[in-house]
Amino acid sequence: MSLRVLSYNVHRYGDDHEALARVVRACAPHVAMLQEAPTWLGTRRTRQVMADSLGLRYVGWSSRNAILVAEGIELKELRRRRVWRPFFRRYPRPRMIATQLPGGTIGASLTVEGVDLALVVCHLGLQKRGRQHEIEQILTLCKSFGLPYLLAGDLNEVPDEPVWRRLAAEGLTDLGSDAGPTFNSSTPDRRIDAAQLSPQLTGRLLPIPAAPADLAAATDHLPLLIELKPGTPVR
């Protein structure tokens, strides 16, 4: 059995809801890892409406990251982490003066064909040095499961910048190196969304079986659809 995982920034669920539902249903994921999902106070009904429209079940969230699952998929453990983003001022002298709004990450473990693995979703901030601080905390969460893992989400920077180099140094496999840009959805020109595998897993990105018009209308990012085959290690 392979596991289909969808990583998708849904832009605060503020665009075309019907187009978003068509995209996600066409992808038919077992697990959806969403960024900019409705997670704030007072959005319980919105979360339920969104999950129902996508044909999925909302099971966990942390700081606008959320995990939804298809019928029959059971997660064993959820782990959340608040991520504080340091904000640096260069003038009149370099110093850390505050923190950006807190971000977060959420991960879950599950068993596929007798193999235990973890899935972790993240959404990094807009401040370059802050992202480097965040990714260290997120990797700590990934490794806390003690399992092979997929890390996916919106990194808010393009390849060859510090976060991507840090993930490569960690030994993760970049599944999207040949996938093309992911932002914006109408005229994509930047790859800022990532799917990264630890060495004990293998997988690939699948084509998105959705109409271009729906992809452009659903949100400002393009999704990543990942097929994992836990029983076949990379090395």
54-66 confidence digits (pLDDT tens): 999 999 998 889 9
Question: Lowest-confidence range among 15-29, 85-99, 123-137?
Answer: 85-99
Query: pLDDT-derived band of residue 234, with 50, 70 and 90 as boundaries?
Result: very low
Query: pLDDT-derived band of residue 113, with 50, 70 and 90 as boundaries?
Result: confident
The answer to whether residue 192 scores a pLDDT higher than 60 is yes
Per-residue pLDDT, averaged over 185-198, amounts to 97
Structure tokens belonging to residue 55:
């044909």
Break the chain down into helix, strand, coil percent, rounded to 5: 25, 35, 40
3-state secondary structure of 33: strand
pLDDT of residue 95: 54
Per-residue pLDDT, averaged over 214-233, amounts to 90
3-state secondary structure of 148: coil
The answer to whether residue 82 scores a pLDDT higher than 60 is yes
Indicate whether this model's pTM tops 0.75.
yes
Q: Which domains does the chain have, with CATH numbers?
A: 3-228 (3.60.10.10)
For residue 97, CA distances in Å to 86, 87, 94, 101, 126 come to 8, 6, 9, 13, 16
The answer to whether residue 235 scores a pLDDT higher than 50 is no
Query: pLDDT-derived band of residue 231, with 50, 70 and 90 as boundaries?
Result: low
The answer to whether residue 111 scores a pLDDT higher than 80 is yes
* Helix intervals (H) in the chain: 17-27, 44-54, 128-144, 162-169, 212-218
| 69: Cβ contacts below 8 Å, ≥ 6 apart | 30, 31, 32, 56, 57, 59, 75
Query: pLDDT-derived band of residue 223, with 50, 70 and 90 as boundaries?
Result: very high
| 200: Cβ contacts below 8 Å, ≥ 6 apart | 148, 233, 234
